[in-house]
Structure 1
Amino acid sequence: MARTIDRLSRGRGRRLGVLGVSGLLATAIAVPVVTNGMGVELGGSNAQTLIQGVKPSAPKTGPASAVRVNQVGYLTDGPKNGAFVTKAKEPLAWSLKDADGKEKATGTTTPAGLDSSSGEKVHTFDFSDVTDAGHGYTITIDGEKSEPFDIGDDLYTPLRSDALAYFYHNRSGVEIDSKLVGKEYARPAGHVNGAASSDEKVPCQPTVCDYTLDVSGGWYDAGDYGKYVVNGGIAAAQLMSTYERTQNAKGVQKASLNDGTLRVPEHGNNTPDALDEARWEMDFLLSMQVPQGEKLAGMAHHKVHDSTWGAIPLRADKSEGKRELHAPSTAATLNLAATAAQAARLFEPYDPEFAAKSLKAARAAYDAAKANPEMMADPGDATGGGAYSDYNVEDEFYWATSELFITTGEKGYHKDVLGSKLHGDADALFPRGGISWQSTAGLGALDLATVPNKLSDDKLAAVRKTVTKAADGYAADSKKAAYGVPYAPGDGRYAWGSNGQVMNNMVVLGTAHDLTGEDKYRDAVLRGMDYIMGGNPLSQSYVTGYGERYSHNQHHRFWAKQKDAKLPNPAPGALAGGPNSSLEDPVASAKLKGCAPAKCYMDDIESWSTNEITINWNAPLAWVASYVDDLGSGSKDKAQA
């Protein structure tokens, strides 16, 4: 008979019960209401104000203008660039007009020739000298008018909130409350109440183990209801890093992610909201660890999901698939070691008991991974959920030992960090295509470079040099690209989840700017945001609710309005995976054959290889949104050096 091993000290009921969602919105400080031009209310300059989004206007459809701009807008003192698709060989005149049609600036384009990412000839233009804040600007070139955009300082304040709210929307095991997300997005708790589809008592696949685990909670990974430690690990780490940056970087809004600032139900518990959200996933990750006394104690199960693929659309609480734990893997175990070590230092001021539990789990996981260094996930284990196989775990070892060293300062972890062949190798730590769930070593290097630790001054300087060296490469890629994107995979082909990798390159660039203050890194981040927000070959904003023409049919089982008119489109702040040269779904392969790399995308719910949404793509979006919001002048009276 299978044995049930319950999770200890979940703390979920305690944390949810402090205030109760009925009184949640009343905790927001009363301030004058302003909007960002998309119907999203901003809370003014007080960092303790809850930023509450509302439903944006419907996206614009039809043929796109040949003038490609960031459809959200440009920071007042930042770079302002765009692209124009044309076969003209000579420079063309451009005109910037305000919302009333008054001309504010003029200039000429620069022919850039054939853009390999789009297969089109383009010109570029630069209007960075314009610093007048305003709404509804347009650029006109050769009779073509761009989509409207704004110039201002607080353009990304709502995105900081919406990108983080994505995770609450996708929590497993808890009701999603209308008082936080609106009636349209509210739903009952999924995968609870003891049915076969419950995560509260999940058995292993046959022959894997003879016990059951309570693995409820956590975040649904993507468009289905699977939960994967290797995706959850990088996502939780980057949410924690989003918060940790506010405590260590200069010129940031230190209180921007504190208790009472985000749309989470744990307000009033004196723990920063960003950490409350990360805790929801950390509790799940800890529950996936093989218990003491078992054969593989300390290892982490790779994933949990249905034994067969669920239908689409399908609300989480309607799911009836049989849930199964899959075999432990070294990669999953090291993800647990890294994130639990990071959690241990961040939660220590707020919940010492949880911090101690996390550190104990991190140590056990690291030791177990060293004892089982080649336990790889089966690439054929892809029925009912993705395989997420990874045959190289040197990067996960480096990440995990880096986090353990930062948290503990112990000599053994220090030796393992310096002894890794990845240490100091910028190309290995930061691949050309970007950090991803398969390439996590860079996460360790970023934290070593920015979080106080016991590295000697010369060793710390060397780590920081690897970060800036990688950032130099990404900045150069951005500068060369007609569309400014800091993404140049070696073979020129865009990967599955290319937008997530673009965002991760922007995290490296933003970190380099935090470390050095050099504008070239900041400018590359902002050019990357231009690309994501519509200044790309498709004139498509890849973030739901942002821009005039935005993705809104991403692959998701509940956010599935394209399949069922009674269901919602994705919530604002959801990042589409983006162009994928491999066209790995039937819809994309049928309709996009022969596409140029940056055009291998379609906003269709069935195009899961180009249009899925995932926690590990939204996490770097949240980091970058927080970073860019800090760049705005609105941070000047809130920032503390």
Structure 2
Amino acid sequence: MWDKTQCQCNLAHPKHFLPRFLVLLLTLFPTTTFSQSFDYGDALSKSLLYFEAQRSGRLPYNQRVTWRYHSGLTDGLEQGVELVGGYYDAGDNVKFGLPMAYTITLLSWGVMEFQDEIAIAGEAKHALEAIKWGTDYFIKAHTHPHVLWAQVGDGDTDHLCWQRPEDMTTSRRAYKVDEENPGSEVAAETAAAMAAASIVFRRINPHYSHLLLEHAQQLFEFADKFRGNYDISIEAAKIYYTSISGYTDELLWAALWLYKATHNITYFNYAIQNAESFGGTTWAITEFSWDVKFAGAQILAAMLPMEGKNKEDQQILQEYRSKAEYYICACLNKNNSTNVKRTPGGLLYTRRWNNMQYVSNAALLLTVYSNHLQSTNQTLGCHAGPVGPTEILAFVKSQVDYILGSNPMGLSYLVGYGPAYPERVHHRGASTASYKECKAFIGCMQGYHGWFGRHAPNPNVLVGALVGGPGSKDEFRDRRENFAQTEACTYNTAPLVGVFAKFHSLEKGSSNSTTLPSASLVSSI
């Protein structure tokens, strides 16, 4: 029970001890977790709830995450532009444009690819709402064909405070890219997001779909004509979302999404003509993330039909496919040399900080490509030999099941799913008294002293958040200060929406595939 005058909570409530007991039990007897079954439909529902917890702006009447309230209602006011809405990307209160756009691109891709499965699970409405919350904001942020407001808030000042978004006292300065200060990465990624979303809304809301496509085309033209690194123009983004890969991967990625959305040959020709110079057919990549889009672009190109293309175009598409399959084979541990590392428990492991983003992002790419191979009756050509779509899907299942609890720690890394999951997520709103229960203002340092440092579990469960996850030895410390492992991001969960829908459909026997991949296939990869 909250003491609303002090905004304190009763930390001795029995509910706080049950999950810790389960974690201890499952850690002592981890083998029991590897035979458990999972409710992918429940995981799907919970993953979509997470986006409601990350909403900025005025929350709608049907908001289901009730511990959140309105926030950021003056965003853009100082710069004379209306920028209320959008998403906070992680556990802080900054609206970073690049990861937000990438989140919507992945979410749209999953919904597009698995729309029937999501509808069967009864989550189509929530999935569309999650996408539209982002695209509505992008429409506001794109105030001129060559102007995109790409960030609200400053990470430096934000990180000095531990405040609920409803209490923010930190800078809400808005930052833009324009002709004099270009930002090709963020402009192109926002174009990709709006193009992908336009496909999702094409039948159910043609007018909105057309509006998104118009913005996407303008943004792509802006990104390409006025080339430059966004984190040079917006220095406030550099420390937090530095563009290591540059902007050529985003330009290819956006062009391919626009071709998929419009069938305009101009965008196809762009991806073909710039394939080599931009790295699309020369970079062999073993990760896919908000920064490095090459593998995603390569897979989009690899799935384009060869029919009707001239020999030169066919050859370039084949080179795209070669690089796309290199990425997939690396995930499957079937390349000749370079493969993605794995933890002893079998999880893909790229790096210490928020490793789960690479796992969930890979899960979407592999599931989409598995569908493509199955529908075209093809196999994957790895150095270790041909691989069929069912084997690829079996490996994805092993990663998804690890996330949901089939791992040495016996923890679900999807918060709120299963009997044991991280309880001290590095997240300002979740770790602090709900504004609806305690409207007393919580100051900048008051949040650090009164809430961040508590050993007790968070008072609000950040349902559906995929945290950074375990280290290279499958170890995990559930501590708020351990942000490399306990912070969650929107682009961690976004790709899982479609993947969860796929496995839920397979489990219920309502997909094009008849059965779930067998355990023997999982163990053989």
TM-score w.r.t. the length of structure 1 is 0.62
| Paired residues of 1:558 and 1:568 also in contact (CA < 8 A) | no
Task: Look up the match of 1:442.
Answer: 295
Task: Look up the match of 1:339.
Answer: 193
Task: Look up the match of 1:12.
Answer: none
* One-letter amino acid matched to 1:215: L
2:133 and 2:342 map into 1 onto residues whose CA distance is: 41
Q: Deviations along 1:439-494, whole A, 9 cap, x unmatched?
A: 1233334444558899749577775565444322211258986422244x4xxxx2
Is residue 322 from structure 1 mapped to residue 175 from structure 2 by the alignment? Answer: no
Structure 1 residues 527 and 187 mapped into 2: Cα distance closer, same or farther (>3 Å)? Answer: closer
Superposition deviation, residue 159 in structure 1? 0.5
Residue 75 of structure 2: which of 193, 199, 223 is its match? 199
Residue 423 of structure 2: which of 552, 558, 561 is its match? 552
1:56 and 1:179 map into 2 onto residues whose CA distance is: 29
Is residue 407 from structure 1 mapped to residue 288 from structure 2 by the alignment? Answer: no
Q: How many residues align?
A: 448
Task: Look up the match of 2:391.
Answer: 520
Residue 100 of structure 2: which of 232, 238, 246 is its match? 232
Superposition deviation, residue 621 in structure 1? 2.5
2:242 and 2:29 map into 1 onto residues whose CA distance is: 39
Structure 1 residues 416 and 56 mapped into 2: Cα distance closer, same or farther (>3 Å)? Answer: farther
| Paired residues of 1:344 and 1:359 also in contact (CA < 8 A) | yes
Residue 301 of structure 1: which of 144, 149, 152 is its match? 149
- Structure 1, gaps ≥5 residues long: 1-54, 69-138, 140-145, 193-197, 204-211, 263-270, 581-596
Task: Look up the match of 1:420.
Answer: 274
2:25 and 2:86 map into 1 onto residues whose CA distance is: 40
Structure 1 residues 276 and 64 mapped into 2: Cα distance closer, same or farther (>3 Å)? Answer: closer
* One-letter amino acid matched to 1:485: L
Structure 1 residues 481 and 609 mapped into 2: Cα distance closer, same or farther (>3 Å)? Answer: closer
| Paired residues of 2:425 and 2:487 also in contact (CA < 8 A) | yes
Structure 1 residues 174 and 446 mapped into 2: Cα distance closer, same or farther (>3 Å)? Answer: farther
Task: Look up the match of 2:46.
Answer: 162
Is residue 150 from structure 1 mapped to residue 36 from structure 2 by the alignment? Answer: yes
SS of the counterpart of 2:429? coil
Residue 62 of structure 1: which of 18, 24, 32 is its match? 24
Superposition deviation, residue 147 in structure 1? 4.5
Superposition deviation, residue 392 in structure 1? 1.1
Percentage of pairs with the same residue: 22
Higher relative contact order (Cα pairs below 8 Å, separated by 6+ residues): 2
Structure 1 residues 525 and 638 mapped into 2: Cα distance closer, same or farther (>3 Å)? Answer: closer
Task: Look up the match of 2:403.
Answer: 532
Is residue 608 from structure 1 mapped to residue 491 from structure 2 by the alignment? Answer: no
Superposition deviation, residue 438 in structure 1? 0.5
Structure 1 residues 391 and 633 mapped into 2: Cα distance closer, same or farther (>3 Å)? Answer: closer
Task: Look up the match of 2:133.
Answer: 280
Residue 359 of structure 1: which of 206, 209, 213 is its match? 213
* One-letter amino acid matched to 2:412: S
| Paired residues of 1:478 and 1:484 also in contact (CA < 8 A) | no
- Structure 2, gaps ≥5 residues long: 1-15, 178-182, 334-338, 375-387, 433-450, 515-525
Superposition deviation, residue 402 in structure 1? 0.5
More helix by share: 2
Superposition deviation, residue 630 in structure 1? 2.4
| Paired residues of 1:404 and 1:413 also in contact (CA < 8 A) | yes
SS of the counterpart of 2:64? helix
- Spell out the pairing of 1:570-609 with structure 2 (5 A cutoff): 570-579=461-470, 597-599=472-474, 601-609=476-484
Is residue 504 from structure 1 mapped to residue 361 from structure 2 by the alignment? Answer: yes
Task: Look up the match of 2:327.
Answer: 470
Task: Look up the match of 1:241.
Answer: 109
SS of the counterpart of 1:222? coil
TM-score w.r.t. the length of structure 2 is 0.75
1:312 and 1:495 map into 2 onto residues whose CA distance is: 25
* One-letter amino acid matched to 2:463: P
Q: What is the root-mean-square deviation in Å for CA atoms of aligned residues?
A: 3.6
| Paired residues of 1:302 and 1:377 also in contact (CA < 8 A) | no
* One-letter amino acid matched to 1:512: Y
Task: Look up the match of 1:219.
Answer: 87
2:308 and 2:331 map into 1 onto residues whose CA distance is: 26
SS of the counterpart of 2:173? strand
More strand by share: 1
Q: Name the stretch that deviates more: 356-365 or 535-544.
A: 535-544
